[in-house]
Amino acid sequence: MVAILDFDLQLGTAALNLNVDARQGMFDCLSQTDRLDNQLLDRYVHKFDDHLSILGTSGSLNLPPDIDPDAMTRLIEIMSQRAPFVVLDLPSRWNNWVSEALIMADESVVVATPDLVSLRDVQNWLRHLNEKRGEERRARVVLNKVGRAKKTELSEKDFEGATEDPVFGSIPHDPVVFDTASNNGQPLGQVNAKSKPALAFVELGRKLSGRQVAPRRKKKGLLRFLGRS
């Protein structure tokens, strides 16, 4: 079971991308810290299917951009008891509470596009995060939209050379699959489970969770079976 918590109150899209009516669920939970428990979460957490639940946001600009770190920590603690894997969807801006969330997380993933601006930003984020997280808990780098500009984009080697960290994963650019999934409110795997982006996400999830996929056992052929009788 995976739970997604969308902490980008003003511009979050986790619920929208999966066609879930989030309203102001995340904001309502964070603004009622004294009442924050499983009973309250049952009112706002949406079950997408048997494997995924979402606490999203309406994406209204009327909502505050900042979050109380204590409320955030309390929410994460409760959700960690409800689901073995909790994904924090954070806004792409830097402030104290975002930094705190990235530092305390078991795994921190910085997503970048293969261009010079993203490379600069990744270097800055990694420098700060790894100083706080330590060598044993270094943040991961994942490249997104790889192949969108094949002739001009930076390569994995460019990022690895500049950051001195291996690229943890790469998501190929496929506008048809991504746009179809976004417009239909579906996961990529439901649109095309065999597409390169969907397979890349499966591999990324496997690596982050630490779960290994057991190799399929080969079925014994008839001749081989008879030969052993």
Q: What is the pTM of this model?
A: 0.86
DSSP string of the chain, one letter each residue: -EEEEE--TTT--HHHHTT---TTHHHHHHTTGGG-SHHHHHHH-EEEETTEEEE-----TTS-S---HHHHHHHHHHHHHH-SEEEEE--SS--HHHHHHHHHSSS-EEEE-SSHHHHHHHHHHHHHHHHHH-GGGPPEEEEEEETTTTTTSPPHHHHHHHHSS-EEEEEE--HHHHHHHHHHT--HHHHHTTSHHHHHHHHHHHHHHTPPPPPPPPPPPHHHHHHT-
Whole-number pLDDT of residue 114: 97
Only one residue has tokens 């073995």, namely 84
Domain ranges of the chain: 1-90
User: Distance between CA atoms of 200 and 208, rounded to whole angstroms?
Assistant: 12
pLDDT in tens, 79-137: 999 999 999 999 988 899 999 999 999 999 999 999 999 999 999 999 999 999 999 99
Whole-number pLDDT of residue 22: 79
Whole-number pLDDT of residue 212: 58
Main-chain dihedrals φ then ψ at residue 28, nearest 5 degrees: -60, -40
Only one residue has tokens 């806004």, namely 91
Whole-number pLDDT of residue 59: 87
Give the amino acid at 88. L
**Which CATH fold topology does 1-90 show?**
Rossmann fold (3.40.50)
User: Which residues of the chain fall short of a pLDDT of 50?
Assistant: 214-229
